[in-house]
Every structure is written in structure tokens, then in C-alpha cells.
A and B are shown apart, each in its own frame.
Chain A
Amino acid sequence: DAGVIQSPRHEVTEMGQEVTLRCKPISGHNSLFWYRQTMMRGLELLIYFNNNVPIDDSGMPEDRFSAKMPNASFSTLKIQPSEPRDSAVYFCASSLTSWNTEAFFGQGTRLTVV
């Protein structure tokens, strides 16, 4: 398996533009997580899906952020409109189950909003 695949690896956009980050989890994993990593706040959980259903989105910072998982092999995280403070590395991770198993992380998308 190729692991968790994220795209793009890098994204530079202007403030106010829409940004869409993509993730392909490991086949057979039923849990998917979106994390954001910054120097100040470390790794923060944004949203968690189980069997394609959003279970906990309490970490999503604002209504500008939305996430979808239309099927077991694809998820998106969208920011609209983007702001400079959204600049961070966004990670997607998947795990076999939702309880007490390790999460496998993708390479991340480095987002820069100017």
C-alpha cells in the first residue's frame, strides 16, 4: 500500500481564495482524521470521520472550514475564504479502527496564504 496520499504537497494562495486539500486514506481503514500543525499550537485535530461519516468536527476553527468524505477512499478539506492565519501544514491520517490503534499520516500539505 502506498500509504495515506495527500495533494497538493504545497499550496500558495491569496487571501480570500478558496483552497481544497485532498486525501486518499489507506485502503481498508475506516477512520480518517484531518490535523493542522503549527509551531505555536502543534498538532490539532480538526475533524474525525468514521465509515465516511463525520463524528467530531469540534476542532474545525470556523465556518470557513469544511470537510467531506464522499466515499471510503477520498476526503477533502476546504477553506473558503482563506486567510493568512490559516497558513500551516495540514495532515490527513487514517487508522484501521477508531479505538486504540495507531494513525498513519500522509506527507501533509503546506498551505501558505498571502
Chain B
Amino acid sequence: GESVGLHLPTLSVQEGDNSIINCAYSNSASDYFIWYKQESGKGPQFIIDIRSNMDKRQGQRVTVLLNKTVKHLSLQIAATQPGDSAVYFCAENGAGAGSYQLTFGKGTKLSVIP
């Protein structure tokens, strides 16, 4: 079946720099996408979402970009801080009968170097 995947399994960033985490998806019918952050010993925490009728959405220090042409999703974190160190997952919510199901990527570990 179709799945969500990540380009980079690990990412090390200097504190204060911007981080970009990428995600490829293959289900062209997916119409809702979410980025989650998971810190060690905790459950995934919602960061930001985007619907397929948008190509960009901004939150506090985070921006999600959606390129439906190439089926690519990215999460940009501005001025990365040590507290941003975590594993980041993208997830897609398919359309139609299976729309309740979030399909998660494998995750990217972000390490912030102080």
C-alpha cells in the first residue's frame, strides 16, 4: 500500500539555526497532513497541520510547506532551540473511507547542538 516516508532519519543543527525536516508521501488522495513532535518518554505532540487546499501554513517558529505536485511535505523550525530536540513525525490522513487513519512516517531525529 501507499505510505509516508522521510528523507533524513537524523538531523543535527546548531542552536539558533533554522531546521528543515522533509517528508515524502505517496498517497495522492491524502488531503490532511500533520507534524508531530515526540520527546523521549512521551507521546507524540501535535505541532502543526495543513490541508491539501493550502501550500503553506505558519505557526509559532514553525512553518509547514506542502508541494502536492511532487508529494512533499516539510517542516521548518526557525531559530532552533535545545528544547526542539526530539523525533519529528509527519502523518497523513487519507480521504474517503479510510480518512480516520493517520499513517505515520518513520520519524526524523533532530539534535540541537548548543
Contacts and interface: CB of A to CB of B under 8 A. Distances in A.
User: Is this pair of chains taken from one and the same complex?
Assistant: yes
A48 B42 contact: no
A43 B31 CA distance: 20
A102 B34 contact: yes
A52 interface: no
B99 A102 contact: no
Interface string B22-43: 0000000001101010000111
A45 B51 contact: no
Contacts of B42: 107-108
Contact of B104 (A43, A100, A102): A43
A33 B91 CA distance: 15
Interface of B: 31-32, 34, 36, 41-46, 49, 51, 89, 93, 99-102, 104-107
Nearest to A48: B100
B101 A45 contact: yes
Nearest to A42: B106
A43 B36 CA distance: 12
A31 interface: yes
Given A4-B43, A31-B100, A93-B43, 13 more contacts: A33-B102, A43-B104, A48-B100, A50-B100, A91-B44, A98-B99, A99-B99, A100-B31, A100-B51, A102-B34, A102-B46, A104-B46, A105-B43
